[in-house]
Structure formats: C-alpha cells, structure tokens
Amino acid sequence: MPTCSAESRGADALLRLSGVTAGYGRAPIIHDIELTVGPGEIVCVVGPNGAGKTTLLKAILGMVRTSAGSISLAGRPLDGLPTHQRARRGIGYVPQVRDVFETLTVRENLEMGGYTLARATPRSGPCGTGQPVTSAAASARCSR
C-alpha cells in the first residue's frame, strides 16, 4: 500500500485522505491512498506517466468518483460533495498542459486556479474554519 504522509499532526491536518481508491468505470487506478497535508505545507506528487497522479488530484476535487476511503479538508468531509462545492471550500486545480487558457501567461493561469481562494476572507477561511486561507505546503515523505 503506497503511503505519502507528512509528519503526523492528528487533528491539525488541512487535507487528509484515508484509504482512498478511485478510477474510471470499474477500473481502479489508485488504491488505498493515505495522505496527510498540514497547514503551510507543500506536497509534491511524483511518478511516471500512468501512475495515478492526475487521478489522485481529480479524486480530491470530486472529478473522479472514489470507490473506497474518505477525503476531508480541515476536518470536514468532502465525500459526496460535487466539484463546485469543494472549490468553494478552498480546493483548486490548475491542469498541466491541456485545459488552460492559451492566451494567458503561466502566472495568470495559476491565479485563475486560485480565483475562489482570493475571494475568501479570514472570517470564512477554508471550510468555514475562520482561519486564513493557506496553501497546502512543505515536503512529504513517501514510502511503499
């Protein structure tokens, strides 16, 4: 079971995936993923083509249905929420090559990915926690 986790923080996790399995149709692409991201951390998901990196991100966003496990943001479950509601809670995605605005610069495309975050206030914060909006950041240890 692949496990990627920053130092254990218990309830302090901003993003937590527990036992997540997801894929397309009946074919699971990612299996039993564990991931914990604390406030202020940057986490890189690295792997060869076809390893499931995009599937993982799309599962977090709700663009790919999970068949097992749970996903939470600031302690609040995201399971079953549509993509637009997850975005309102602070989850964003800027695709790698396709699906970007060709007339915009790289920076402008990244800013579009965080557009809803720019409108969040410290009062609302991610998931309505009242905490300032922060990016998920620092390195994670990955092991198999």
Of the two residues 72 and 108, the one the predictor is more confident about is 72
Asked whether the beta carbons of 57 and 37 are under 8 A apart, the reply is no
Domains and CATH numbers, the chain: 3-143 (3.40.50.300)
Report the pLDDT value the prediction gives residue 91, as an integer from 0 to 100.
84
Report the pLDDT value the prediction gives residue 98, as an integer from 0 to 100.
66
Q: pLDDT tier at 131 (50, 70, 90 boundaries)?
A: very low
Separation CA 96–CA 83 (nearest Å): 18
Q: In the predicted model, what is the mean pLDDT of residues 63-75?
A: 94
Of the two residues 38 and 122, the one the predictor is more confident about is 38
Q: Give the mean pLDDT of the chain.
A: 76
Separation CA 50–CA 88 (nearest Å): 29
CA atoms within 13 A of residue 39's CA, in its CB half-sphere: 12
Q: In the predicted model, what is the mean pLDDT of residues 17-43?
A: 93
pLDDT at 89 over 70: yes
